[in-house]
Amino acid sequence: MPSFCSSLSGYLKIKEMIKTKYSFWLVLLLSLVLTACGSKKLAVKSDSKASKAADAMANLKSQQLYRFITEWTGVKYRFGGLDKSGVDCSGFAFLLEKEIYGVSLPRISRDQANFARKKSYGALQEGDLVFFSFGGNDVDHVGVYLNNGFFVHASTTRGVIVDDLNLPAYQKVLVKSGSVN
């Protein structure tokens, strides 16, 4: 019996040591994981397209314009649309200019371009219009200038969105910019 007791006692001591070491490592591991999770900060790179668009929105002078864009962002594109179930580019410009600036624009982008007083790209201000020709010589798309080279428009593929006017895809087809205010 004494040999059984001493071996049982040794076994229990070893088991207790393993349990203690296991507990120590488990507590250490959990502490590291929880600490890492708590200090993790999600950051958008300051030079990313999304952060620049967010900066353009944050730098708007008009809170009413900010709210309008925020309410319409993500609304899908629908040719001829004039509500939040779908809107086209000229309809979006039409609604924005009417609600924010009290200006009654024509309904079609080509007519809006004729209505706007020509303005150089460098002189654009918040609320000015930018016109594009994706399909030839005639104006077939319109957006509203914000600031720092950003504009808001109803994209045929992405709906209402804030975009970078300096992208080559837009610079190649930009045909006019102007003011209606």
Is residue 132 within 8 A of residue 174, CB to CB? The reply is: yes
> Annotated catalytic, 5?
no
**Catalytic residue among 89, 96, 124, 165, which?**
89
**Catalytic residue among 75, 97, 153, 176, which?**
153
3-state secondary structure of 15: helix
> Annotated catalytic, 153?
yes
Evaluated on CA atoms 166, 177, 157, 42, the torsion sign reads: positive
Evaluated on CA atoms 60, 61, 63, 64, the torsion sign reads: negative
3-state secondary structure of 51: helix
**Catalytic residue among 141, 142, 145, 154, which?**
141
> Annotated catalytic, 141?
yes
CA distance 171 to 12: 78
Those residues with Cβ within 8 angstroms of residue 101's Cβ, 6 or more apart along the chain or in another chain: 127, 180, 181
CA distance 159 to 177: 21
Residues recognised as catalytic: 89, 141, 153
